[in-house]
Structure 1
Amino acid sequence: MNNKIQNKETDKKKSVVEAVIFDWAGTVVDFGSFAPTTIFVEAFQKEYDFTITIAEARVPMGLGKWDHIKAVGELDSVNQRWLTQFGTSMNKANIDQIYQRFIPLQKSKVIDHAQPILNALNVINDLKVQGIKIGSCTGYPREVIDILSQAAAEYGYQPDCIVATDDLAHGGRPAPFMALKNVIDLGVSNVAHCIKVDDSTPGIYESNNAGMWTVALLLSGNEAGLTYQQYKEADDKALNKARQKARLVLTKSNPHYMIDTIDDLPGILVDIEKRLIAGERP
């Protein structure tokens, strides 16, 4: 008598997709990407008694954090208020000072945003069952992502690779180097067999530049800017409005797919597998 018990996991076939590379905040953890945005607001306020809005803090999301501060300062609305308050535009010394204020604030609070969102762990574990490697990269510097990744590991999220924005000399998005460092470290044989999942336009540009399939998240990330509670309580009209808001921004970066959250990724994986088997490339 055959006593072997088969289940859906052992029946899974090895995927033609070699790796999926995830962003962190707004993608796998931190629904709505609030950890970095709220700290940007606080850093400007504490260092220069200068007020920026959450909406302004969100505009350059996905960039490395020093570049992010620089980009916020270059927004017309911010620059005009800075000129009025200080008589000159923000300069490198100002950016450095805000960044030095930002880092300890972010390190102290990022742990509060480490819990995986929605069905992220089940989706990622199912990818692993299919032999898919799990990579990750982030706009956080190494000293911040080390704290976040340790906290996320306590919830069960442990990617096979983590690349921080300051790990490489030219690592910042939208350049492809962080994504490609994942390819190297994971031992991926074909970049076209990789998928990148992100909630920001710099993150999508990064993966397009790396030659990967790109999946943009509409509702869990920076562009919709919803808290998890708002997402759960929203009716169809409110969710459609949030989708449209995010889609208007993310479409500019030409992702191959746009979905609500990581929970919708399995269906996209199936479609990409079919396209790869048919000989398509990103």
Structure 2
Amino acid sequence: MERAETKKISAVIFDWAGTTVDYGCMAPLEAFIQSFRKEGIHVTDEEVRGPMGMKKKDHIRALLELESVRLQWTEKFGKLPEESDVDQLYASFEPMLMAVLPNYTEVIPGAIELVDSLRLKGMKIGSTTGYTLDMMKVVTAEAEKQGYKPDYWIASDEVPAGRPAPYMCYRNALELQVFPMDTCVKIGDTVSDIQEGINAGAWSVGVICGGSEFGLTERQTQELGEEELRTRMAAVRSRFERAGAHFTVDAIAELETVIEEINQRLARGEHPQACGVLRSEA
């Protein structure tokens, strides 16, 4: 009798902004702030980053559910926000984001080298995003010029529901022809990324530096004092762990070490649905 082949990771599904491009996930931030400001509503950076990674209309809906926003909206308009207000906010948000997107597509350091190494080890490269198809046409074209091109990508408006729903991950599995889902790793920089991976039955990994939860540009990160850097990273790590991330890494380049550990766990018959938080870089 032939021995069954040992199960191992066959695909990695990356997020885009804040994970592989746009260090700090800066492109959507100002567009959200400005679109709400246009209506006379103030939202903070922290509030905007809370739902980051979601489909952009869903992101606006989430912001409109915030108590601070609902209070401002009621005071200004005499009523709570409605779905028509979501449409109006999105109508101003989308052109704002499209205008700045080309300036926020620089590939995050270490991403291309990581992807090249994973491919050499036989892994396929997929991706999901909170961006729409039109937005992704801009991002993917600019990223490809720099040498980053996943084997497959899909936008949030090409599936019935965006994150935290698992549909984009399922489409990746279908198009990349990988199965079962516990041979896939989903990595991203937001809580919705973590939830997407978990809901898909994949191993879910959170990346701290460069991400939206961390919320700083590369230069700002480099200028942090050691103690403040550790404190900020610990706060993000804690949020990822509460969201159920199986692993958390400080930087994207550390993913290969995590995959080695996952392969060991798969060889022992473990699977992500039965695992809680396993390891975090400290």
Match of 1:22 in 2: 14
Deviations along 1:167-199, one digit per CA (max 9) or x if unpaired, are: 01x231111111111000101022111000011
Shift of 1:275: 1.3
Q: Distance in 1 between matches of 2:182 and 2:241?
A: 21
Find out whether 1:101 has 2:92 as its counterpart.
yes
Normalising by structure 2, we get a TM-score of: 0.91
2:232 is matched by which residue type in structure 1? A
* 2:158 alignment partner, SS class: coil
Alpha carbons 1:195, 1:214 under 8 Å: kept: yes
Q: Map of 1:126-275 to 2, 5 A cutoff?
A: 126-168=117-159, 170-275=160-265
- Structure 1: runs of 5+ lacking an equivalent: 1-14
Alpha carbons 1:223, 1:245 under 8 Å: kept: no
Shift of 1:121: 0.7
Alpha carbons 1:219, 1:242 under 8 Å: kept: no
Give the CA RMSD over aligned residues: 1.3
Shift of 1:45: 2.1
Q: Distance in 1 between matches of 2:34 and 2:257?
A: 39
Find out whether 1:58 has 2:45 as its counterpart.
no
Deviations along 1:137-177, one digit per CA (max 9) or x if unpaired, are: 00111110111111111111101111111101x23111111
Query: Which of residues 70, 87, 92 in structure 1 aligns to 2:78?
Result: 87
Q: List 4+ stretches of structure 1 deviating above 6 A.
A: none
Deviations along 1:210-241, one digit per CA (max 9) or x if unpaired, are: 11011011222111111110112223211111
Q: Distance in 2 between matches of 1:249 and 1:86?
A: 34
1:131 is matched by which residue type in structure 2? G
1:237 is matched by which residue type in structure 2? E
Match of 1:279 in 2: 269
Alpha carbons 2:41, 2:69 under 8 Å: kept: no
* 1:166 alignment partner, SS class: helix
Match of 2:277 in 1: none
Match of 2:40 in 1: 49
Normalising by structure 1, we get a TM-score of: 0.91
Match of 2:105 in 1: 114
* 1:173 alignment partner, SS class: coil
Shift of 1:110: 1.1
- Structure 2: runs of 5+ lacking an equivalent: 1-6, 273-282
Q: Distance in 2 between matches of 1:252 and 1:83?
A: 32
* 2:156 alignment partner, SS class: coil
Shift of 1:243: 1.1
Further displaced range: 217-226 or 18-27: 217-226
* 2:34 alignment partner, SS class: helix
Shift of 1:123: 0.6
* 1:196 alignment partner, SS class: strand
2:183 is matched by which residue type in structure 1? H
Shift of 1:257: 0.2
1:179 is matched by which residue type in structure 2? C
Alpha carbons 1:191, 1:212 under 8 Å: kept: yes
What is the count of residue pairs matched by the alignment? Answer: 266
Q: Distance in 2 between matches of 1:235 and 1:124?
A: 30
Q: Distance in 2 between matches of 1:126 and 1:171?
A: 32
